């Protein structure tokens, strides 16, 4: 590299990321982004907990002139197709990036279709020992076609490629969903997997389910909210110490008989054993392990348990000498895991980077369940701040109880923190996430979801006077829908019922509904209006809108803002 070339490139890059000033719509005070996680715009009937809730503040705001709806699913957030529901990860990526990037599901689909997923040196290392010396290839992940954390087709592709490349023993460790798919659908996916594996067994291969458990109590913790969840998974998958059954179906049916009404996401951990009680698939020295989830937040902690030499969160008892890989790199800054099969989306120049270079003071707050979304995912899958001097992040520890049992969660504490930050008068751009709509909606409890919506409305009503007092404005939106459809619907629009009990079928997954977008601007006097865009707007249009209100022209490659001249 010629002398000074690196410094010159750095200076050029910084110059390219300088924001140009704008005086079109600049507010006098701060801009506050309020993300109502999991609250979309659905049918106005009893299927919609948001509609049924008493939300006077939001009702008033949505009747005003500065409101519209945004796409928050499918291709609008980088997913393969418009039948794919949005999620918090891709939603916050789009919100912070100002553009649309191909996301995990789409990237893995492409890699599998092209064959590049199975053409790397890493893949050859993963299958070499199971193909040559009787070791096992272990596949751990969410057994689902929800396409939020994983897809069962990706699992099938991995198993098929393993057989093609000579792996004689495969052990599948299944995490049961009931959250991004119907709440008691686990046996549907287990039966599909058993039938699929049986074809290999008939050909003389030793391919079996080895362990499992519900995703909310086994393996898939996030943001270190509760390491005991990961410990249970380690004990079931790696050590073979969970409660033993002869099959996954037996485990699920037994748990349901012992606790009628239990949902798949809360089913206890289990290990599959033979007639003598010996586990079928503990992870042993010389094996290979693939975590086939593509989404990062609930994959990082198990990856650390396999990768970290020094590990303090729980006693692993033993750490097998294995080749371990994730489907994707789950944290690009911390390089977790060390090995991965598919490159994650490369999201450059998110809005926070531009604002940091401009010297804007930024504040982000949420509770643990969504803290990474207003920081890591918002920043384009980066763990750290862009500028420690101008950025402040605050995490409110989440409760360790089921969310339907405490649907207000930490919304009041988040609101208190935001009010303190506003009153400090130290920030130009502030953002928060109220997790209630999403986390409570995933439980399928309608009445708790109504309380969740009313909690968010009450907290927003507390924030607006403070925003007005400081001459600011608020942008209110959501990252995807959830509580806006609480029951499964038939093709004719009627609510599905259980064939045996006649009970309404709860829906625990996200929706395909649009989300609200509201501007609360107390000083508004008609100087701008909602834009009429050539393409239906989505979450990625919000970043340019924020920049305009802060007094900056959006970068040329950002999607257009949602406001324009009157």
Query: Residue 12's pLDDT is what?
Result: 47
Query: Residue 352's pLDDT is what?
Result: 97
* Cα 191 to Cα 160, 203, 209, 513, distances in angstroms: 17, 19, 11, 31
Provide DSSP, 252-287: HHHHHHHSTT--GGGPPPEEEB-TTS-BS----TT-
Query: Residue 500's pLDDT is what?
Result: 79
The residue among 153, 213, 145 whose CA lies nearest residue 180 is: 145
* Cα 523 to Cα 422, 473, 548, distances in angstroms: 17, 8, 15
Alpha carbons 76 and 542: distance in angstroms, whole number: 13
* Cα 307 to Cα 198, 338, 346, 525, distances in angstroms: 32, 7, 23, 57
Block residue for tokens 């093709």: 491
Query: Residue 15's pLDDT is what?
Result: 58
Residue 179 class from Cβ within 10 Å (0-12 exposed, 13-18 middle, 19+ buried)?
buried
Provide DSSP, 194-214: HHHHHHHHHTT-EEEEEEEEE
Q: Which residues contact 144 (CB under 8 A, 6 or more apart)?
A: 150, 151, 152, 177, 180, 181, 189
Q: pLDDT tens digits for the chain (566 residues)?
A: 556 555 544 454 555 579 999 888 889 999 999 999 999 999 999 999 999 999 999 999 999 999 999 999 999 999 999 999 999 999 999 999 999 999 989 999 999 999 999 999 999 999 998 988 889 999 999 999 999 999 999 999 999 999 999 999 999 999 999 999 999 999 999 999 999 999 999 999 999 999 999 999 999 999 999 999 999 999 999 999 999 999 999 999 999 999 999 999 999 999 999 999 999 999 999 999 999 999 999 999 999 999 999 999 999 999 999 999 999 999 888 899 999 999 988 899 999 999 999 999 999 999 999 999 999 999 999 988 999 999 999 999 999 999 999 999 999 999 999 999 999 999 999 999 999 999 999 999 999 999 999 999 999 999 999 999 999 999 999 999 999 999 999 999 999 998 778 889 999 999 999 999 999 999 999 989 999 898 899 999 999 999 999 999 999 999 999 999 98
Is 88 among the residues known to form the active site? yes
Catalytic-labelled residue, pool 88, 144, 303, 352? 88
Model confidence, pTM: 0.86
Cβ atoms of 552 and 20 closer than 8 Å:
yes
Beta bridge partners of 486: none
What token pair was written down for 384? 């750290």
Helices marked H in 42-151 — which ranges? Answer: 49-52, 56-62, 88-97, 104-114, 121-132
Cβ atoms of 478 and 37 closer than 8 Å:
yes
The residue among 197, 150, 154 whose CA lies nearest residue 172 is: 197
Cβ atoms of 486 and 496 closer than 8 Å:
no
Query: Residue 477's pLDDT is what?
Result: 98
Cβ atoms of 496 and 489 closer than 8 Å:
yes
The residue among 536, 509, 430 whose CA lies nearest residue 35 is: 430
């Amino acid at each position: 590299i010629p002398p000074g070339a690196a410094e010159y490139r750095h200076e050029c890059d910084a110059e390219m990321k300088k924001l140009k000033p704008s005086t079109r719509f600049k507010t006098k005070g701060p801009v506050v982004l309020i993300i109502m996680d999991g609250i979309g715009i659905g049918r106005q009937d009893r299927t919609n907990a948001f509609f049924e809730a008493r939300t006077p503040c939001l009702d008033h705001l949505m009747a005003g002139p500065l409101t519209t709806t945004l796409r928050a699913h499918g291709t609008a957030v980088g997913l393969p197709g418009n039948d794919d529901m949005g999620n918090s990860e891709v939603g916050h990526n789009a919100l912070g990036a100002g553009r649309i990037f191909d996301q995990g599901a789409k990237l893995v689909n492409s890699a599998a279709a092209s064959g590049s997923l199975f053409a790397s040196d890493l893949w050859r290392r993963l299958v070499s020992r199971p193909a040559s010396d009787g070791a096992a290839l272990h596949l751990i992940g969410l057994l689902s076609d929800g396409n939020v954390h994983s897809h069962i087709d990706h699992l099938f592709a991995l198993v098929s490629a393993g057989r093609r490349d000579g792996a004689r023993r495969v052990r599948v460790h299944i995490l049961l969903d009931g959250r991004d798919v119907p709440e008691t659908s686990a046996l549907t996916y287990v039966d599909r997997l058993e039938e699929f594996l049986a074809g290999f067994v008939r050909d003389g291969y030793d391919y079996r389910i080895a362990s499992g458990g519900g995703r909310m109590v086994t393996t898939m913790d996030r943001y270190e909210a509760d390491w005991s969840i990961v410990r249970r998974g380690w004990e079931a998958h790696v050590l073979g110490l969970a409660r033993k059954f002869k099959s996954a179906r037996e485990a699920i049916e037994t748990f349901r008989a012992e606790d009628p009404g239990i949902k798949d996401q809360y089913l206890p951990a289990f290990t599959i054993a033979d007639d003598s009680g010996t586990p079928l698939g503990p992870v042993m020295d010389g094996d290979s392990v693939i975590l086939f989830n593509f989404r990062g937040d609930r994959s990082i902690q198990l990856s650390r348990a396999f990768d970290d030499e020094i590990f303090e969160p729980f006693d692993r008892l033993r750490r097998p000498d294995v080749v371990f890989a994730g489907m994707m790199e789950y944290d690009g800054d911390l390089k977790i895991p060390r090995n991965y099969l598919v490159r994650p989306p490369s999201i450059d120049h998110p809005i926070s980077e531009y604002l940091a270079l401009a010297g804007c003071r930024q504040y982000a707050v949420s509770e643990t369940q969504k803290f990474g979304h207003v920081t890591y995912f918002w920043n384009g899958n980066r763990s750290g701040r862009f500028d420690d001097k101008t950025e402040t992040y605050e995490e409110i520890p989440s409760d360790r109880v089921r969310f339907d049992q405490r649907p207000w969660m930490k919304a009041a504490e988040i609101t208190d923190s935001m009010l303190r930050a506003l009153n400090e008068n130290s920030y130009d751009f502030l953002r928060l996430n109220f997790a209630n709509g999403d986390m409570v909606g995933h439980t399928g409890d309608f009445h708790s979801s109504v309380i969740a919506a009313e909690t968010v409305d009450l907290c927003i009503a507390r924030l607006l006077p403070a925003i007005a007092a400081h001459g600011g404005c608020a942008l209110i939106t959501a990252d995807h829908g959830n509580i806006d459809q609480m029951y499964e619907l038939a093709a004719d629009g009627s609510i599905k019922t259980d064939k045996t009990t006649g009970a309404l079928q709860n829906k625990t997954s996200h929706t395909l509904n649009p989300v609200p977008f509201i501007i609360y601007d107390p000083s508004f006097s008609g100087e701008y209006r909602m834009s009429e865009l050539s393409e239906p707007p989505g979450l990625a249009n919000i970043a340019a809108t924020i920049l305009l209100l802060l007094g900056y022209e959006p970068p040329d490659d950002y999607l257009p803002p949602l406001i324009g001249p009157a």
